[in-house]
Amino acid sequence: MTVTESGKQTRTDRRREQILDGAIRVFAEKHYHEAGIADIATDLGIGHGTFYRYFANKKDIVNQAVAWALRQIDETVLQEDPSSSTTLAEHRAMIERVYLRLFVLQDQHPHLIRFLFRQASDPTTLTLAHDTFVGYADRFITIGVDKGFLRPDIDVEIASQALVAVVFDVMRRASATAVSVEMRQRWMSTHARMTLEGLRQPE
DSSP 122-179: SHHHHHHHHHHHHHHHHHHHHHHHHTTSB-TTS-HHHHHHHHHHHHHHHHHHHHHS--
**Model pLDDT, residue 99:** 84
**Model pLDDT, residue 202:** 74
3-state secondary structure of 63: helix
**Model pLDDT, residue 181:** 81
Query: Hey, what domains does the chain have and what are their CATH numbers?
Result: 3-58 (1.10.10.60), 63-199 (1.10.357.10)
Task: Please give the DSSP secondary-structure letter assigned to residue 34.
Answer: T
**Model pLDDT, residue 3:** 36
Record the pTM.
Answer: 0.73
**Model pLDDT, residue 42:** 92
Q: What is the mean pLDDT of each run of 10 residues along the chain (203 residues)?
A: 48 88 89 87 91 92 86 86 89 86 84 76 69 88 91 91 83 75 83 78 72
**Model pLDDT, residue 5:** 44
**Model pLDDT, residue 142:** 94
Q: How many CA atoms lie within 13 A of 149 on its CB side?
A: 17
List CB contacts of 95: < 8 A, sequence separation 6 or more.
140, 188, 191, 192, 195, 196
**Model pLDDT, residue 78:** 86
* Pair 40, 23: CB distance under 8 Å: yes
